[in-house]
Structure 1
Amino acid sequence: MMKNFLAVGIFCAAIISAGCSRAPETITVEHTVSSGETLSASLSDNAITPATIAEISYNLQKVFNLRRSREGDYYKVVTSTDGMLISFSYYPQRGFEYYEIAAGDDGKFAAEGLAMDVKTTTMTARGEVKSSLWEAMASRGIDGELIIRFAELFSWQVDFLTDTREGDEFKIIWSEKVAGSGERQKRRIIEKIVAAEYINRSEKFVAVGFGNGDLDYDYYSPDGKSLRLAFLRAPLSYRRISSYFSRNRYHPVLRIYRPHHGVDYVAPAGTPVSSIGDGTLSFKGYSGGYGNLVRVRHPNGYETYYGHLSRFAKIARGSRVRQSQIIGYVGSTGVATGPHLHFEIRRGGAAMNFLALRLPSNKQVPVAYKADFGLTVEIALKRLDEIR
């Protein structure tokens, strides 16, 4: 929604040459940019003269890309009653820099970018799940970006689509960078999650952020194991599971009982499918009942299968694949009753129940950083315990 503020103020100055005691009135326009609105159109709608709009655009573009003007950006323009520019300030909604246009001693206008005074603050929150993690965290005033970060943080331990239960609890400590003041000028950017906790079916998962020197900031369990496990909990965003791992499952198409060595994830056709871990693409093509199939070979003898795909991602057989990299898209090729992903994991050729698998960890805190990490964990656990 467009926010607009128009104020007329009177200021006085001694103009010696004219011998008068009061300068002309000024007009101040404050405005928050709406969706799809350009700066020049906005200024025009607020009765700024074409000459002044041209002056603002000419100078501002030297320090700010006008194409980056976005909904929520705020500006203030001061003009004389005859429409001449006195000053202009522009505050992008994102970032900690703002821009000013003012006349110099020579009377010529110039623009400059100025840094806001930024402060870092630490925030905490806790809550209990009633229907979903999103609802529980949003009800505590936590914005969507942070909710997504929290869910991604524990995505290797908890599948929030299937594992979330009423009564689950969360705690979170995060840092924010804050600058400016006032509704229009204040800026807030989430910096990082410092520590977090999620209790799922009475099982507690704790994440502690740690980085030191050459060690990149990452998240670990209190015993120093990386939360980024070798495999994701699921290879896609899905609606439900239609078939589970079974040694004797009735096949709805073939109408016979036979082993089902995988998990069938129901999702709309075209849903991206990702590799659950780093590896090498060992097969890509059509394979009988699997239809369009991708196989990825992982370290330690693991291999994963992704079947019934509608199409493949542009990646060649033998190529390196990274965890979360898209390798194909949900379909219903091969023997399938509808759009879904048939997913299997095997080790040494033997099929495994993926949903019951204890996923292997990726890495641990290096020995050289153990002491510093131990202190970080001690502080983090104490702070989590103090959240009420």
Structure 2
Amino acid sequence: MTASDSGSDRRERLKALREAALHRPVLARHLTDGFTGRWSRRQWAHASLFATLGMLVAAIVPGFSASGAHPQPAHAPRHSMALALPPLPLTRLKGSQGDSWQIVRVQRGQTLGAVFEQLDLPASTLHRILDQSDDKKALTRLKPGTELAFDLPVNGELRTFRYDRDDSHRIEVSLAGDTITQKVIVRPTETRTVVISGKVGKSLFRSARKLGLSGNNINTLTDEIFKYDIDFNEDVGANDRFSVVVEQIWREGELLRTGPVLAATFTTDGKLHTGFRFERAGKAEYFTGDGRPLKKSFIRMPIPYARLTSNFGTRRHPVLGRTRMHKGVDYAARTGTPIMAAGDARVKSAGWQGGYGNAVVLDHGRGYTTLYGHMSRIGKIRAGQRIGQGTVIGYVGSTGMSTGPHLHYEFRVNGVHRNPLSITMPPPEPLSGAALTQFRAQTSVALARIQKVENIIYADVDAPPPAPNGAKKPKTTANKSKA
């Protein structure tokens, strides 16, 4: 039977079904009952329903008949075959050198043992490496950010372990069976002295970091060099300019770190401030252009942001109840608040002193001493120890004759008590002699570097060279240059 014959039969069956549906007694009765020559709404609904049913039946029945007329072919049988994969190259099977390095950066608090465990390496392998390593102490005290490399071929066994002993030397530890060999690879570094110059903009920290200064460099500017001359919260504007001389360590085109600030200038409100790093008696300090230390000999308040509760002078003692001389000043603060040394000093005594309770006496030289009383506890200091300005020597308390937590602070000159709030603090000792000569030689080089860079960056500005004693300076834009 042809396809045309099948289609003709399907149409004949559909026609027969439609006629049968229309001639059913029920439908005829519904369509003729009460017929007045015009169909009602109900008659129209019935006619539509039956017509729809008829069309559905006509559409479904041919499908069944067609499936019966054309049976589905049976599925062809399927067969599976095992095909051998091409063998791995011998170099891949054994693992060629350098094809499977994994780099790990040590996280805060993470140990070398934890790194080995993370890579599913046995602890016995770690112990073998440590037993034969010359850097056992360094490997067991890894700093956050340290880069470690592991050569792990497809068999999962550690073949080579790599780490940096320092900036210039990389160590490769190779494991082959029970044999461990160590190779030292020299990686030369380059030190560059650069001048970084820029404008404060919206944020000094953000601008300086963008130019390449480290966080420590910026803290040196704000907390050491210009701390006493510039209020960085109030005095600094967006157009103020800074220039900094630093040393940078480079290796194979990568900046490893930035060294301390060697020299710096800061222009704010048209006034130039300068600071230069110089080692005196083996200790690095910052000085003005004429050799005077930028750090003051003494800080006024051993506790920052404390509240003054009792002045120097005669008063009624809160414990004894009689009038007597108050030989210092009192600062109220919470128990446990750190107390700082007012200046560089040698610890004269640290311990219990009668009505002072836990107290510390510092000898600053040249006849100046300070006393700190009523401490809750004394810091990690001992008699005879030399400490720097700002060292924490103890914590606020209420020991001895005290009615509440506070610091009793005394300032003495040649044994005579003086008011620490009104006395003119002694100036720090300036450089002199051979030290001053050497300092001036270094200063001139640093100033020349800054002047050279600024002349290149700000060639369109008629600016005089920077001077140590301050001068009017034009505003500038951010830039960096190697000098």
TM class by shorter chain equals 0.5 to 0.7
1:340 is displaced (CA, Å) by 3.7
Instruction: Give the deviation of 1:178 after TM superposition.
Output: 2.9
Q: Which amino acid aligns with 2:224?
A: L
Pick the structure with greater CA Rg.
2
Aligned mates of 1:176, 1:37 — CA distance in 2: 29
* 1:241 maps to 2:306: yes
Contact conserved, 1:240 with 1:267, CA < 8 A, in 2? no
- Call closer, same or farther: CA 1:267–1:21 in 2, change over 3 Å: closer
1:310 Cα shift?
1.5
Query: Which structure: greater strand fraction?
Result: 1
| Contact 2:104–2:149 (Cα < 8 Å) also in 1 | yes
- Partners of 1:31 and 1:283 lie apart in 2 by 47
User: 2: CA distance between counterparts of 1:201 and 1:308?
Assistant: 44
The two structures have a TM-score, normalised by structure 2, of: 0.57
Higher fraction of helix? 2
Matched, 1:116 2:187: yes
| 1:309 pairs with 2:375 | yes
> Does residue 449 of structure 2 align to residue 377 of structure 1?
no
Q: How does 1:208-357 map to 2 (within 5 A)?
A: 208-210=276-278, 218-227=285-294, 229=296, 231-233=297-299, 236=302, 238-243=303-308, 261-262=328-329, 264=331, 266=333, 269=336, 271-274=338-341, 276-279=343-346, 281=348, 285-288=352-355, 290-313=356-379, 319=384, 321-324=386-389, 326-333=392-399, 339-348=405-414, 349-354=416-421, 357=424
Distance 1:341 1:137, change over 3 A: farther
Q: Distance in 2 between matches of 1:130 and 1:266?
A: 35
Gaps of at least 5 residues in structure 1 are 1-10, 13-19
Residues 129 and 240 of structure 1, relative CA distance in 2, 3 Å threshold: farther
Shift, 1:28, TM fit: 3.2
Work out whether residues 56 and 101 of structure 1, in 8 Å CA contact, stay in contact via their aligned partners in 2.
Answer: no
Q: Deviations over 1:29-75 (max 9, x none)?
A: 22223334333443443355x4xx74565236513323123432222
Aligned residue number for residue 260 of structure 2: 192
Q: Secondary structure at the match of 1:35?
A: coil
Root-mean-square deviation (Å): 4.7
SS at match of 1:68: coil
Deviations 1:313-337 (A, max 9, x none): 57677x4654445543222335667
Separation of aligned partners in 2, 1:259 and 1:73? 55
The CA distance in 1 between the partners of 2:378 and 2:388, in whole Å, is 16
Q: Is 2:349–2:382's contact at 8 Å kept on the other side of the alignment? A: no
1:102 to 2:174 alignment: yes
Relative to structure 1, the CA distance from residue 369 to residue 35 in structure 2 (aligned partners, 3 Å threshold; closer, same or farther) is: closer
Quote the residue 2:228 is aligned against. Answer: 158
CA distance change for structure 1 residues 180 and 112 in 2, over 3 Å: closer, same or farther?
A: same
The answer for the alignment partner of 2:162 in structure 1 is 89
Q: Kindly provide the amino acid, as one letter, of the partner of residue 343 in structure 1.
A: Y
How many aligned positions are there?
352
Normalising by structure 1, we get a TM-score of 0.68
CA displacement at 1:222 relative to structure 2: 1.0
Deviation of 1:100 (Å): 0.8
**Counterpart-to-counterpart distance in 2, 1:84 and 1:248:** 78
Aligned to 2:18: none
1:362 matches 2:426: no
Q: Which 5+ residue runs of structure 2 have no aligned equivalent?
A: 1-87, 455-475, 478-483
Change (3 A) 1:54 1:284: closer
> Structure 2 residue aligned with 1:71, among 144, 163, 166?
144
Contact 2:191 / 2:250 at 8 angstroms: preserved in 1? yes
The alignment-based identity, stated in percent, is 21
1:196 counterpart SS class: strand
Once the two structures are superposed, what CA deviation does each residue of 1:61-110 show, in whole Å capped at 9, x if it has no partner?
Answer: 51332312343222232233223444332247x75432212379x99441
The one-letter code sitting in structure 2 at the alignment partner of 1:59 is I
By how many angstroms is 1:259 displaced? 7.1
Read off the aligned partner of 1:262 and give its amino acid letter: V
Question: Would you say 1:30 and 2:100 are equivalent positions?
Answer: no
Aligned CA distance change for structure 1 residues 263 and 57 (closer, same or farther; 3 Å): same
Distance in 2, Cα, partners of 1:135 & 1:167:
18
Following the alignment from structure 2 to structure 1, what is the Cα–Cα distance between the partners of residues 201 and 437?
A: 35
Distance 1:180 1:286 in 2: 60
Code of the residue aligned with 2:441 in structure 1: it is L
Distance in 1 separating the partners of 2:350 and 2:125: 61
Q: Would you say the 8 A contact 1:120–1:175 is kept in 2?
A: yes
Deviations 1:164-204 (A, max 9, x none): 532336543221323356xxxx6723432211245689876
Worse overlay, 21-30 or 72-81: 21-30
Would the alpha carbon gap of residues 59 and 149 (structure 1) be closer, same or farther in structure 2, given more than 3 Å must change?
same
Once residues 321 and 30 of structure 1 are traced to their aligned partners in structure 2, the CA distance between those partners, rounded to angstroms, is 44
Q: Does the 8 Å CA contact 1:292/1:308 hold for their aligned counterparts?
A: yes
Distance 2:209 2:334 in 1: 26
Q: 1:310 aligns to what SS in structure 2?
A: strand
SS in 1 for 2:398: coil
Amino acid at match of 1:172: V
SS at structure 2 position matched to 1:374: helix
Q: Show the counterpart of 2:217.
A: 146
CA change 1:274–1:267 in 2 (3 A) is: farther
User: In structure 1, what is the equivalent of residue 128 of structure 2?
Assistant: 58
Letter in 2 for 1:73: T
Give the conservation status (yes or no) of the 8 Å contact 1:248–1:260.
yes
